[in-house]
């Protein structure tokens, strides 16, 4: 697990892909869209903007996942 102790994790999302996209979850108050690669060795990554933690879980269904009031297959996207 790789994250700094000064980073406060606000939300944890389980995803079924090793590359995720985060925009802060809000079209107006979010942050620039970033693509984050989850290192296979640690199975998680933390967004540098909003401190959301994405945890890889291969068992997570391929179906639509709820993400901050939106739906995306395995990752967060902007509208």
**Strand arrangement of the beta sheet that strand 44-46 belongs to:** 12-15, 53-56, 44-46
The DSSP call for residue 37 is E
pLDDT at 10: 77
Fold classified for 12-65:
HSP40/DNAj peptide-binding domain (2.60.260)
Question: Quick check: pTM over 0.85?
Answer: no
Q: What is the largest CA-CA distance in the chain?
A: 34
Position 71 confidence tier, pLDDT thresholds 50, 70, 90? very low
Position 56 confidence tier, pLDDT thresholds 50, 70, 90? very high
Q: What are the pLDDT digits (tens) for 13-43?
A: 999 999 999 999 888 889 999 999 999 999 9
Token pair 């108050």 in the structure block, residue:
29
Euclidean distance between the first and the last CA atom of the chain, given in angstroms as a whole number: 31
């Amino acid at each position: 697990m790789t994250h700094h102790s000064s980073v406060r994790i606000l939300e944890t999302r389980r995803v079924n892909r090793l590359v995720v996209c985060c925009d802060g979850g809000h079209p107006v108050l979010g942050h620039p869209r970033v693509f984050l690669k989850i290192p296979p060795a640690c199975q998680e990554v933390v967004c540098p903007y909003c401190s959301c933690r994405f945890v890889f879980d291969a068992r997570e269904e391929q179906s639509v996942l709820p993400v901050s009031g939106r739906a995306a297959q395995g990752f967060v996207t902007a509208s």
